[in-house]
């Protein structure tokens, strides 16, 4: 009797087949994992780099305007003036983070002063062992006339193009009245003034700043209730009534016949940059990542709350290059913490940021967190211009 062969695989053949299958599957999984890790790595790096560039571009744009419309020595402000920022008592109301150290006006030559640049060395939080800086800059806004290309040709110009028609002072409250030809109107929703705006009041006596507490189509009120405490009475150094020249009552301009001298009003921006922890993280009691770069306009968070500019910014530092035309034409570079008397000598600002991802990846050993440093140098045209470089000293100190 002849035996018929059985169909199938031997145990050895089965083991070989399983081994080959596992080998191919393992290789496919390894390739897939590497592709996923590489994609994650590239995505993280793209996001981090995008945040770093957004942060640096925003800082640079404001720095280019720093000091515009202001004297090099700055503008005196009342001693009581301060920056007001509050997030609210309830954690649920925390929509932003305030600066770790409230900005303040530096005392220059014995007076609190608003400068084009206000350095704040290591005033920010310490993140990963690095103390961060803050910085404030001020500049005049010329946008009221942007909506009119006829300004200077016809009478259709913004509120900053005409002298005040009259002004009234009652204690620490000042009311400024605008020319009826002002176009757009002072309370225009797009180009006009709003509560919390800072005004620069200028005439031949000098300059002072005040905070808007109410505005109509014909006037603006600088009341004593302003959070920044800029609105002070006559006799207070840096007050608007001091520049207007009277302590109470109403004075009219009368086309130069007086008693009110020719006085102009412009809007002023004070922009502060700082790094802070995500407010949601603060709400649950942690100061760890993530961190953000914030931009705060003026100093009243009730009307101008700080706005996050970029995520994942974990460090912010500034250094300053100065040139003194009086003290022998001396130069000083990369100063991290200039004195108050050196603020008016700042010509160039070096800004450095450090961006880091908040998610880990094992795509490349040693690169678990994507980190990108970025540095730029800005020479604000209103601070850096100097028209006389003498080869001989112009004085001594």
Among the listed residues 254, 286, 309, 281, the one whose alpha carbon sits nearest the alpha carbon of residue 54: 309
pTM of the model as a whole:
0.83
Report the chain (397 residues): mean pLDDT per 10 consecutive residues: 66 83 87 78 80 93 92 89 74 68 86 92 88 93 64 69 90 91 85 92 93 93 92 92 91 78 91 86 56 89 87 91 68 83 88 80 58 90 62 49
pLDDT at 159: 83
pLDDT at 122: 92
User: Alpha-carbon torsion 224, 229, 233, 239, what sign?
Assistant: negative
- Residue burial 334-349, b: 16+ Cβ < 10 Å; e: rest: ebeebeeebbbbbbbb
pLDDT at 28: 87
> In Å, what is the CA distance from 290 to each residue of 2, 126, 134, 351?
80, 13, 18, 21
C-alpha torsion angle, residues 216, 217, 218, 220 (rounded to 10)? 30
pLDDT at 394: 46
| Distance (Å, whole) CA 52 – CA 42 | 15
């Amino acid at each position: 009797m002849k035996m018929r062969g059985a169909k199938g695989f031997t145990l050895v053949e089965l083991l070989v087949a399983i081994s080959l299958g596992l080998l191919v599957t393992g290789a496919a999984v390894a390739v897939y994992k590497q592709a996923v890790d590489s994609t994650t790595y590239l995505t993280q790096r793209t996001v981090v780099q995008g945040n770093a560039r957004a942060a640096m571009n925003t800082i640079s744009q404001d720095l280019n305007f720093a000091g515009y419309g202001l004297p090099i020595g700055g503008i005196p402000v009342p001693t009581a003036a301060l920056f007001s920022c509050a997030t609210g008592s309830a954690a649920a109301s925390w929509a932003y983070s305030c600066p770790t150290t409230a900005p303040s006006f530096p005392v220059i030559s014995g007076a609190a002063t608003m400068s084009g640049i206000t350095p704040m060395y290591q005033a920010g939080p310490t993140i990963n062992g690095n103390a961060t800086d803050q910085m404030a800059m001020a500049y005049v806004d010329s946008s009221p006339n942007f909506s009119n290309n006829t300004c200077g040709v016809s009478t259709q110009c913004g509120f900053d193009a005409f002298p005040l028609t009259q002004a009234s002072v009652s204690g620490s409250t000042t009311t400024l009245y605008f020319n009826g030809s002002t176009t757009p109107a002072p309370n225009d929703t797009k180009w006009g003034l709003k509560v919390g705006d800072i005004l620069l009041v200028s005439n031949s006596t000098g300059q002072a700043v005040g905070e808007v507490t109410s505005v109509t189509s014909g006037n603006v009120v600088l009341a004593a209730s302003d959070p920044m405490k800029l609105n002070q009475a006559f006799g207070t150094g840096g007050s608007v009534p001091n520049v207007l020249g009277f302590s109470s009552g109403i004075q009219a301009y009368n086309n130069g016949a007086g008693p009110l001298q020719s006085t102009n009003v412009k809007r002023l921006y004070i922009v502060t940059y700082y790094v802070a922890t995500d407010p949601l993280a603060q709400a649950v009691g942690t100061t760890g990542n993530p961190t953000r770069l914030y931009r705060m306009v003026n100093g009243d968070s009730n009307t101008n709350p700080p706005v996050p500019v970029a995520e994942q910014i974990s460090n912010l530092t500034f250094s300053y290059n100065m040139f003194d035309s009086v003290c022998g034409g001396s130069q000083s570079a990369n100063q991290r913490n200039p004195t108050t008397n050196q603020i008016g000598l700042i010509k160039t600002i070096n800004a450095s940021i450090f961006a880091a991802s908040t998610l880990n990846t094992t795509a490349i050993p040693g690169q678990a967190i994507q980190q990108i440093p970025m540095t730029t140098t800005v020479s604000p045209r209103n601070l850096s211009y100097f028209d006389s470089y003498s080869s001989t000293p112009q004085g001594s100190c």
